[in-house]
Every structure is written in C-alpha cells, then in structure tokens.
Structure 1
Amino acid sequence: MSVIELNEIEGLKAYHADWNRLLAVTPGGNFFQSLDWLQVYWQHFHEKQYLRVLVIRDADEVTGIVPLCIQRLKTKFGSCRILTYPFDDWGSFYGPVSANPEKTLTAALNFIQQSQRDWDLIDLRCVDSNGFDDGATERALEAANLSLKKTSWNQTAYVDLSQNWDEYLAGRSGKARQTYLRSERRVEKEGEIEFLRYRPRGENFGESDPRWDLYEVCEEIARKSWQGDSTTGTTLSHENVAQYFRDTHESAARFGAADLNLLYVSGQPAAFIYNYVFQGLVFSLRMGFDPSVSNKGLGRLLMGRMLRNSMERGDRIYDIGPGSLDAKKYWYTSVENSYRYVHYSSVSKIAKVLQISNRIANWYRDRFSNDVVSQSQISSDFEHPTSQH
C-alpha cells in the first residue's frame, strides 16, 4: 500500500470520482464526509488551518481517503498544533472514507509517523465507536503503536425509520403521543395544512436545482423564529454563516444530499426542517417555526409529517443532531455517543505539559468527585475555540 498526501484543496478534484465511489461503501457514510462538503467548508473556514488529505492506494486502486488538517490552537499553556479532522462538529460523526476504515486509518497513521512532525497532538473527534465505526479507530491507533486517551465527546439522538408510522407512534410514551396528536388537532383548526418536501437526487440524475425560492422561505422563517435573535452565530439566517449555509445548500443539491421540508398553514409558510441525506441516513441541520402563524405545535406537526414520510420513502435513520436531548426526548428511539481519541506527541513540550495537566485534573476528579473538576474543564485545555456546536 502507498500513501499520497495532498495539501491544496484544488488538488483534490482529481480524486472526486474515487471519493464518491468510496463514500458510497463507507459504513455510515454521510454528506459531511464528501469532497463536495469539504470544498465548501474549506472555502469558508480554512484560515489558521493546513490541509493534510491522505489518499491510500493498494497497487493502482484508491482504497481509502483520510481528510485531516492541522489547526493551531491557543491553550493556557501556550500554542498547540493538533492533527484532526476538518469537521468542527458541524455534524454528529466523522471518519475515514473507505469500505475498510480500520485498514485505511492504520496506513494513514503509519504514514503520519514517518512524515514531518508538524503536530503536537493527534485529536480524532466525533467517532461513533459503538456504531458504524465499530471500534475501527481504536484498533487502528493500536495497530500503529500510538498510545491513546479515549473520552466521551458528544451525544446525538436517533430515530429508527425502519418501521411504519403506527408502530413508531405506538412505541412513544403516552405523553409524547398525546402531545403530538394535540398539535395535529390544534394546527388543523388554524387552517389548511400543506406539507412539502424537496429532495433532489443530484446532478447525476438531472436533479440539481437548489430551489432558492424554497430555501429563502426557510431563511425567512428562521429570522422570524427564536433564531432571529440568537447570538450563537450558527443559525441558518445569521450573517456569520448564512453564506456558508447557502453555498453548502447549492453543493448538496448537486450532490443529491439536500432535504428541505416546509409546512404551510392556509398557504402561509409556518415551519421548516432542513436536513442533509445520504443513502437513507438523514441528518437534521436546522429547524424553526414562525410564531406569528401559530404557537400551537407547528414544529412538532412538521416533525411528525416528515418522519412519517421518511418511513414511507425507506429512509433508515434520522439523526436529530447533537445536544439538547431533553428537547428531543419525545422523538428519539436511541441515544448514540461520539468519542474523541487523543495521542500526545512524545517529542512535543506542549503535548507533555497538556498530558500532565490532564492527568492531574483526572486525579482531582477521581479523588474529589465532580465538585472540583468537571470533565468539560479537563478537556478545555485544547478544545477547538470555534467549534460549531
């Protein structure tokens, strides 16, 4: 096996076909792992990052791709360089693009150790170790003889779509069913309900129209919802990321990953859910409703209509997104964990300091419980300051 390293985003175009071919056979592959998404992400967020994409070849065939980058972060002990995925928590999970992620990542890690050491930490985040990854990342690190520290990173909520709507609704708690059905009745009293779903299959099928008219309706609803006053800088209509979302939407429409859902009441736009979809895995990016139309369950009604439609289409999983699990408790059928794997360079001074700091914090936590040091404090020494979630 051989490894080719690419450091310019333009140089990846030559591997577009291979990338798409491999993504189609990647366990749990998603739109965030596509070259199409990476190109837009890099266009908007490449500052203070250095691209290191590793292409794995077996004889004359490309068998795997590992997108990586170097990010320089400030810690309380000084500047630190981490080798990580170019992802920044925009979705739930990330990893190598390959039918055999373990073999691909092992080859990449061996190559990294033999190449110029431009990092202090290897920090692989958003790994679904118990899901589609199935331990591949951990085994690859061990096979490459890299010591590792595994910690919890985040949680996301899944809805199992491999059932019909009646079965799903029957499996919800009594309160959840009552809350949803009450929303159905209340909104129906407001006027005629129309559910619209736009999911173009992509340019390979002659369906790549981004339908800006529909997307702009989502933006307008977002501005009228709580998102209009949000200061997080990550909502659909926020000026800091609005252009990134628009560029990604156009890319997703070409790729066949855009999934736009709208609810109308008496012809008036009332609620939206915007997703990315790939091979039956649907990821919820943003959602919102217009309280001036109704405040009697518009979001719940749209969620129910959309889930039912996904079940009828044959989708497999709906990922409601990381965090805020309490707000999603009526919907999800399981909670999935993501993990981070950290390897400290043995020749980096800052890595040694951070490692010692982490050990001391862990000791205090174990000895004096969470009243003294929380897990978030332990990790804060080198967390990404611009993480999107």
Structure 2
Amino acid sequence: MLTTTELNRIEDFDAVRATWHQLWAQTARATFFQTPEWIETVWAHYHGPQKLRVILVERRGEIIGIVPFCVRTVRRKVGSLRMLTYPLNDWGTFFGPIGPQPGTAFRVALRHIRSTPRDWDLIDLCWVDEAASEFLEVGLAMREARCGFLARPRMEVRICRMNGDWKSFVDGKSHNWRRQMRRDLHQLEAAGEVRLLRYRPEAGGSGAEPEHFEIYQLCEEIAKKSWQADAESQSTLCSPRVRQVLLPLHRQAAALGMLDVAVLLVGERPAAFFYNYAARGHVYGLRMGYDPAAELAGAGKILLYQMIEDSFRRGDVEYCFGPGRQPYKDRFATEMRHAYSFRHYARGSFRSQLLQLRERVCERIMSPQALIDKGLVT
C-alpha cells in the first residue's frame, strides 16, 4: 500500500534531506536541479505567486520516491493562470521524480494531486526527457487520473555522449572538422600558450571557500566582455538578476561536488569559459562566454574541444548543451533528445478552457511540425 505526504514549506526539507539525497543517488540521470539544495535556493528568487507541493511517496512509512511539484501563476494571452508544474523554470532541460521507481512515484503523486482540492488551472510538465524510464508512464498515469493531455516536444537538446575514447570520437568527425580545429588552435597559439583550466571540486565544505568564488569571478571577468553582456535578455553570468541566483547556487553546487567550470587561458589571459553542473558523469552546460578580441578568435570553439577531450579522459558519461539549435552544438553533439511537455487543461477553469480552445484552433490551421517549431524553447 503506497501512501503520500505533502510538503508545502521549504523549511520542511530539513526533515527529509538525508532521505532525499539517498533517493537522488538511486535516480537515473540525476542532476543538481533535483537536489533539495537547488530547489530551496531558487525558490526565494521566483518573482510571482507560487505554492510548493512536494509529494513524498511512502511504503509502510518508508519514503520510496519524491515528486517536487509547485503551483505558479503565469501570464498567457487569456490572462493569468495557476500552473501545476515542476519547479525548474527553464534553468535546465530535464526534470522528473526522485527515486529508483520514478514512474510509480509519479503515478501515486498525481493521484494525490487529483484527490485534493484543485488549486491550479492547468498542469504543464515541461521537462520530461523522452529517454527517461518514466516517459511513457507519465502519459499512462495522466490517463489513469482522467487528465486528458497534450504531449508535444518543447526543447531540442543536443548531447555529446562519451562512448568509446577521445581518439575514436575525433576520428569519427569529418576531415574538414579535424583540419579546422587544428587551424583554429594554431591561430590562437599565436597570441600565447593555450591552456585549459578545469575546476571540479570534491564534495565537502560550506561552498563559501575563497577558491570557489575566485573561479566564479574569473568567469564573470570574461562574461563582461562578451556580446551577451549587452544583450537585451540580460541572462549572462554577470547580469545582476542572474548573478543574485547563480552565486548562492554556485556555493551549493561546490559544497555538493556538482560544480564544473572550464576556462581557456591564452598567454594566461582568460579567453573563454563554460560554466557547468556535473553529477555522476552527467555534465550540464548552464552558461558560456568568450572574449571577442580579434586575437582571441576561436577561443570558445577551442575551449569546447579541449573540455570535451578532458571529459573523455575523466570518464564522464555525457555533456548536455541545453536547448537550442546553435551550430556550434551540432559540431560536437552525438545525439539530440527532446524534452516533452505534458499539458492538461482543467475543465473547471474558464481561462484554461479558453487556452485549450486556442490550442485546438492552432492545430487546425498549422501543420504538426509548425506547431512544434512554434513552441520550441531555443
């Protein structure tokens, strides 16, 4: 007999933190985003009404799975709606239940949601990995709970799988690819010695150690010179609204041993960076940037080359480039996976039904591929 307990306060995490970490260690492709530390850190930085609904799935009093839901108010063309979703908010690409049986945990958690008073207008699970073991079970569970749903790709995620060794990876690339990489490296070496700095601290400490902040400052120094620093989105590492979230996350990731930073030095001059999170060999690229100076042309590409080579050497499993179709990702990616959205519109919500009607109109006037492209996060 499976039962549930619902947590509605961040302060309640301390009571289940040890169990959460144990279940996280048994979760396939677990990420930093699925830790209690990540959720409790970003929770205070969401600007808008929100309610925490973390479902603990238990068997005879023992927690066997955790499903972190939340209800957030979002703006759509039909007005404001309360959306039941995962608390990822597009910081990453994939999210799901924590524990060794994610499908079972999700089914029981959704049953719990349906048995409690509805405080949402729609369910939108935006980050379901098509390769996840629970992918098919999400749809089955929603049907079982009488939640009619729409499933559609929401993100295209490029991934470099570290199968085999580095030499085999390079040999599998085209002659032009290999020649261009050699040429770019040769040109960059004219500006000074090219060196990779890879910073991946072991778990332990408070995360506030000076060396952790120094590597963050190094990335900021490069980010301030990059074109992204002046972009309207203000989403780069040095942007104030991003920094206020990333810096406390930086400390948490360092303390958990999930911080991974790659910096390219050219003549000891910081030229490019990739800011990542790493968990059990699965590396996620969160931010990147490079110095646009003419003499450092190609620094970002060379850093990516050397970072992937270093990941092969370390025995990493994969590098995730995040969402988007940028050409540089395709040069190194070995596969592409979709993050799916599973969406259910509440019958008792007028605005939700308007949104569903709008969706049906779009389905009549647009091709299936056009609908997918329209909704992709890039």
Judge same fold: TM > 0.5, yes or no: yes
Q: CA deviation at 1:113?
A: 0.6
Q: What's the TM-score, normalizing by structure 1?
A: 0.91
Question: Does the 8 Å contact 2:70/2:86 carry over to 1?
Answer: yes
Asked whether 1:220 is paired with 2:221, we answer yes
Tell me, in whole angstroms, the C-alpha distance in 2 between the residues paired with 1:173 and 1:49: 49
Question: Does the 8 Å contact 1:280/1:314 carry over to 2?
Answer: yes
Question: Does the 8 Å contact 1:67/1:86 carry over to 2?
Answer: yes
2:339 aligned partner, one-letter code? S
SS state of the match for residue 330, structure 1? helix
Q: What does residue 73 of structure 2 align with?
A: 72
Q: CA deviation at 1:201?
A: 1.7
* Percent of aligned pairs with the same amino acid: 34
Q: CA deviation at 1:14?
A: 1.2
Residue ranges of structure 2 left out of the alignment (5+ in a row): none
Question: Does the 8 Å contact 1:27/1:133 carry over to 2?
Answer: no
Question: Does the 8 Å contact 1:128/1:339 carry over to 2?
Answer: yes
- Check 1:208–1:199 CA distance in 2 against 1; reply closer, same or farther (3 A cut): farther
- Check 1:49–1:136 CA distance in 2 against 1; reply closer, same or farther (3 A cut): same
Tell me, in whole angstroms, the C-alpha distance in 2 between the residues paired with 1:196 and 1:184: 16
Q: What does residue 295 of structure 1 align with?
A: 296
Q: What does residue 383 of structure 1 align with?
A: none
Question: Does the 8 Å contact 1:162/1:314 carry over to 2?
Answer: no
Q: What does residue 57 of structure 2 align with?
A: 56
Structure 1 runs (4+) greater than 6 angstroms displaced: none
Tell me, in whole angstroms, the C-alpha distance in 1 between the residues paired with 2:69 and 2:284: 22
Q: What does residue 199 of structure 2 align with?
A: 198
1:57 aligned partner, one-letter code? E
Tell me, in whole angstroms, the C-alpha distance in 2 between the residues paired with 1:7 and 1:309: 42
Question: Does the 8 Å contact 1:201/1:208 carry over to 2?
Answer: no
- Check 1:304–1:232 CA distance in 2 against 1; reply closer, same or farther (3 A cut): same
CA-to-partner distance for each residue in 1:141-170, whole Å, 9 max, x for gaps? Answer: 233332211111011110011221111111
- Check 1:340–1:113 CA distance in 2 against 1; reply closer, same or farther (3 A cut): same
Question: Does the 8 Å contact 2:23/2:99 carry over to 1?
Answer: yes
Tell me, in whole angstroms, the C-alpha distance in 2 between the residues paired with 1:173 and 1:48: 51
SS state of the match for residue 295, structure 2? coil
Tell me, in whole angstroms, the C-alpha distance in 1 between the residues paired with 2:184 and 2:140: 47
Q: What's the TM-score, normalizing by structure 2?
A: 0.94
Q: CA deviation at 1:335?
A: 0.9
Tell me, in whole angstroms, the C-alpha distance in 2 between the residues paired with 1:208 and 1:103: 38
SS state of the match for residue 66, structure 1? strand
SS state of the match for residue 190, structure 1? coil
Asked whether 1:320 is paired with 2:321, we answer yes
Residue ranges of structure 1 left out of the alignment (5+ in a row): 381-386
Q: What does residue 136 of structure 1 align with?
A: 137
Question: Does the 8 Å contact 1:264/1:271 carry over to 2?
Answer: yes
Q: What does residue 31 of structure 2 align with?
A: 30
CA-to-partner distance for each residue in 1:237-286, whole Å, 9 max, x for gaps? Answer: 11121121111111100111100111111121111111000011000111
Q: What does residue 46 of structure 2 align with?
A: 45
Q: Tell me how many residue pairs correspond in the alignment.
A: 376
SS state of the match for residue 117, structure 1? coil
